[in-house]
Amino acid sequence: MKKISILMVAFVAACMSAFADDVVSVNPNPLQVSPGDEVELEIVFENSGGNYTAFDLDISMPEGISAERDKGKIVCDKGDMYEEEDDHTIGTKSLASGADYFNCYSPSSMTISSGKGVVLVVSYKVSEGIATGEYTGKLSRIAFYTADQAVEFDDVEFKVLVVPTKINDVSASKQTKGTYNIAGQQVEMQKGINIVDGKKVMVK
């Protein structure tokens, strides 16, 4: 009996070790937005080789930033961690807590690709009335599933920076040319929101 217990402990330890290098994060972090913006949040997964077929998680955003909806459904999409003929589908639900629940699964148990990439992209709308400042978003109840095991991950908190918008100031003049950040400063093209010749351009 003791020998069986030791073997079981060794088996569990080996399983935990196999998933130890897997990491869930968000991009961008911090997420920088301005009142009235429409932005995308990417859920990034570093998969060291686990044969994951599904995952689910909750996303909580600060008050004033809400998931965009199309005919009542949250606007989201799969990322680049799936094969071309992949059949994973995403289910969503808004929870009483204010968080949004996401579930991604494959009816035929196709696996999520190994390596690092995006498993979920969610579109958000920033309220015009949100106050500037630093806020916190969170991923919680994160679990990825293999055919016979659920692997749970710690909650992931990320910063949300709400900054004043000067997009209108930059684009008001038809003579304005060049590339600007959302604070109205002239810059080289960079990741995030750029104002190019008066038009908003998102660079990932």
Q: Is the pLDDT of residue 185 over 80?
A: no
Which residues are within 8 A (CB) of 6 and not within 5 positions of it... i.e. 6 or more apart?
none
Rg (CA), the chain: 20
Half-sphere exposure of 23 (CA within 13 A, CB side): 8
Residue 21 CA, distance from chain mean position = 19
Residue pair 59/102 in contact (Cβ under 8 Å)? The answer is yes
On whether residue 15 sits in a domain, the answer given is: no
On whether residue 191 sits in a domain, the answer given is: yes
Q: Is the pLDDT of residue 10 over 80?
A: no
Residue pair 143/56 in contact (Cβ under 8 Å)? The answer is yes
pLDDT for 63-116, tens place per residue? Answer: 999 999 999 999 999 999 998 889 999 999 999 999 999 999 999 999 999 999
Whether residues 56 and 133 share a domain: the answer is: yes
* Predicted pLDDT of residue 89: 96
- According to DSSP, the residues that pair with 122 across neighbouring strands are 41, 76
Q: Is the pLDDT of residue 17 over 70?
A: no
* Predicted pLDDT of residue 116: 95
Whether residues 86 and 126 share a domain: the answer is: yes
Whether residues 45 and 83 share a domain: the answer is: yes
Strand pairing class (54-60; 100-105): antiparallel
What pTM, to 2 d.p., does this model score?
0.74
* Predicted pLDDT of residue 7: 46
- Spatial distance between the Cα atoms of 204 and 199, rounded to a whole number of angstroms: 16
Domain that residue 174 falls in:
166-204
